Amino acid sequence: PDPVIAGPSTLTYTLMVVNDGPSDAVSLSLVASLPTEVTFVSSTPGAPTCTRAGITLTCTRPNLTVGSSWQIVIVTQVNASATGTLTHQATISSSTADPNSANNTASAITTVNTLADLQLIKTDSPDPVIAGQSILTYTLTVNNHGPSNALNVSVADTLPNGVIFQSATPGIGSCNAAGQTVVCSLGTLVASGNTVIRIRVGVASSATGTLSNTATIFSTTPDPTPDNNSNT
């Protein structure tokens, strides 16, 4: 399809070689360069007609008569890290002279869309705490359920009144605190990946009742299910 979703989605290229004549073509060779952002799955025909070396697929055919066509289907899978557009180019050649080589190369440009289902899970320990004596640790687990990599990921946590910030330790990236707000910039979180942030606070001697703390995750990659981006 076009566009495709970065992640476990299938992208199929169909190549059609036509001999417009006036003579039969012999010793044909088609060279197809796959985008680096896809993973090769299969080709039809397969080996020995088509062989692959890295991102290059080479297909050969002994002859193609006038008016005949030769179809090659290449199946790939789009990587979770793909962004922007994918360009696939193929070129056909033959030992038979070609009076119009301008139409021997063709390209397909595919638009890539991205989606990343981010999830934030938050726990506290210990619970309950003693006012004026306890160190309270908030553990924030960030999951990317994909299908694409999540870019420019950040977590914002506004600490409740009644606690004093001590430290924030992220698994990736860095954290900064300003007043009662802690912001952690995590960068890229790969599909099916996760990381943990631990925020340590002291419990003020004046604290009473309950402490409620909500954190939220953000990314420049669209999220199909934003309801799980915050946790309290």
pTM value surpassing 0.85: yes
Strands 9-18 and 69-78: antiparallel
Paired with 175 in beta bridges are 184
Closest CA to 60 of 52, 68, 33: 52
Cis check: omega of the bond before 35, within 30 degrees of 0: no
How many Å separate Cα 177 from the centre of its chain?
30
What pLDDT is stored for residue 112 in this prediction? 98
What pairs with residue 11 in β-bridges? 76
Rounded CA gap, 218 and 230, in Å? 9
Separation CA 165–CA 162 (nearest Å): 10
Residues in the chain with pLDDT values less than 50: none
41 neighbors 86 (Cβ within 8 angstroms): no
Q: What is the per-residue pLDDT for 130?
A: 96
